Amino acid sequence: MTSSHAFWLAGRQVTGEDTFDVTSPWDGGLVGKVALPTDAQIEEAVAAAYAVREDFAATPAHVRAAALDHVSRRLVERTEEIARLISAENGKPVKWARGEVGRAVSVFRFAAEEARRFNGGEAQRLDTDAGGQGRLALTRRFPKGVVLGIAPFNFPLNLCAHKIAPAIAAGAPIILKPAPATPLSGLVIGELLAETDLPAGSWSILPVPNDRMPALVQDERLPVISFTGSEKVGYAIMDSVPRKHCTLELGGNGAAVVLGDYASDADLDWAATRIATFSNYQGGQSCISVQRVIADASVYDRLLPRIVSAVQAQVTGDPADDATDVGPLVSEDAAKRVEAWVREAVEAGAQLLTGGKRDGASYAPTVLTDVPADTTISCEEVFGPVLTVRKADGEGDAFAAVNDSKYGLQAGVFTHDLQAAFRAHRALEVGGVVIGDVPSYRADQMPYGGVKQSGVGREGVKFAMDDYTYERVLVLTGL
């Protein structure tokens, strides 16, 4: 699957003077060569987006919605080919890659629907005060300006979709920058957008190298930054532009709580299967993968062996094979980091129940118990196929354990108790609580994002549109 890929500058396909290689994390083979934009080309894209911003905001909703619907339909038609591309550049098992394409199909469809109804309009009477007598306020939402969208490697298509689709729906031009390890899937979106009538300049997809990003981040013509990626890079960006609007979708160390009422064989089988699947889903490289299991002491001894055998049942291997559940990590360095963190935990006294082996970029699905609280794996985001399991002494202890983290993205709580569900919703310091399932559940229209070090702001199509726009009030006098 070797080919040369151009990038997208103001809606047209452009080759740069230099290229960089995209290689397979599975076998190191060349997946594609991608053109690098020059400084002059980056400037051209920014200038075009800035110049078109007022026209784009005024583009009729039906035009923007039709373009978004078109991309959604074309993604359906090209699902298999794009899934194979995601799998090749990212190492994600192809069956999960098909799911990612399906999610991007929905993101573009949701964005088309929101484009048709998005308005933000509200009429507010002002005559509740004597000074407002004879006046009326009307509000509408307008784009804040050009969006700079920065995407990570782990969902190379869908997280690009989450930047670009809401921007188009809101009438905000966007410069999208995909991750350097996985730019090809994001560039495919350009092929589909190029088939539409969106104004030139309203979108560019530029694989800008990291060392040239600070200039783009600082550019005053790009007042909105929507970043998904690591805590380190995200906060460095926000700190460097304190006067810009930044949305940060960062990391997590997702917890799944199993409460004492979740105790039948069927309950524990379901919980164990979901936990095993979503701690290893794309090698644990999801910001909401299950990293921590916190099980009530009354169910712990029956749950743990089920989790271990479900983890051992995960099929590892070639991501292109339909049977594979767990492929390689994004790079050998990533696998070596996971290996070092597990070694550190074991040396500190953790019990290794299964896994703990590395082969190149692949790391075996791993379960640890008795992990000391001060180890790296207890405190940081592992971003690999490693699960830690601990006992809790009742609901309060379990919820406190979830909150004992610098992160707060999502949490899962396995319970049938409706009141416990509401207590979890109130107690857990996270952006989302999932009852009856793992923290890894995400529907692309729902508000999504974190608290604490997991980020600032929310995505989910409508919520990203809120983020890209602001309310401007119109006061009518003499009524």
Footprint on this chain of ligand NAD (rule: CB under 6 A): 150-154, 159, 177, 179-180, 210, 213-214, 217, 228-230, 233, 237, 249-252, 287, 381, 383, 409, 455
445 Cα distance to chain centroid: 13
The nearer residue to ligand NAD, 325 or 444, going by C-beta atoms, is 444
Distances from the Cα of 44 to the Cα of 17, 84, 99, 150, angstroms: 15, 32, 35, 18
Q: Is 44 helix (H, G, I), strand (E, B) or coil?
A: helix
DSSP 409: S
The nearer residue to ligand NAD, 207 or 260, going by C-beta atoms, is 207
Active-site residue, 81 included = no
- b or e along 90-106 (b: 16 or more beta carbons within 10 Å of the residue's beta carbon)? bbbbbebbbebbebbbb
The nearer residue to ligand NAD, 237 or 304, going by C-beta atoms, is 237
Q: β-pairing, 12-14 with 7-9?
A: antiparallel
Contacts of 458 (CB under 8 A, 6+ apart): 247, 431, 447, 448, 449, 464, 466, 467
Shortest CB 191 distance to ligand NAD, Å: 20
Tell me which of 249, 339, 381, 395 is the catalytic residue.
249
Shortest CB 29 distance to ligand NAD, Å: 21
Distances from the Cα of 30 to the Cα of 177, 339, 435, angstroms: 21, 26, 42
Active-site residue, 287 included = yes
Tell me which of 100, 160, 246, 287 is the catalytic residue.
287
The nearer residue to ligand NAD, 2 or 210, going by C-beta atoms, is 210
Q: Which residue is nearest to ligand NAD (CB)?
A: 229
Shortest CB 396 distance to ligand NAD, Å: 28
Shortest CB 209 distance to ligand NAD, Å: 8
96 Cα distance to chain centroid: 15
Name the burial class of residue 323, with classes exposed (0-12), middle (13-18) and buried (19+) by CB atoms within 10 angstroms of its CB.
exposed
Residue type, 35: A
Shortest CB 155 distance to ligand NAD, Å: 6
**Phi–psi pair at 438, nearest 5 degrees:** -75, 165
Report yes or no: 328 and 348 within 8 Å, Cβ to Cβ.
no
The nearer residue to ligand NAD, 255 or 310, going by C-beta atoms, is 255
Handedness of CA 172, 175, 181, 184 (dihedral sign): positive
Question: Among candidates 299, 243, 239, 247, which has minimal Cα distance to 268?
Answer: 299
Q: Based on DSSP, count helices (H) and strands (E) in the chain, helices before strands.
A: 15, 25
Helix (H), strand (E) at residue 105? helix 94-117
Shortest CB 339 distance to ligand NAD, Å: 17
Q: β-pairing, 135-143 with 469-477?
A: antiparallel
Shortest CB 334 distance to ligand NAD, Å: 8
Shortest CB 159 distance to ligand NAD, Å: 6
The nearer residue to ligand NAD, 228 or 366, going by C-beta atoms, is 228
| In 223-370, alpha helices (H) | 231-240, 265-280, 297-312, 332-347
Question: What residues are annotated to the active site?
Answer: 249, 287
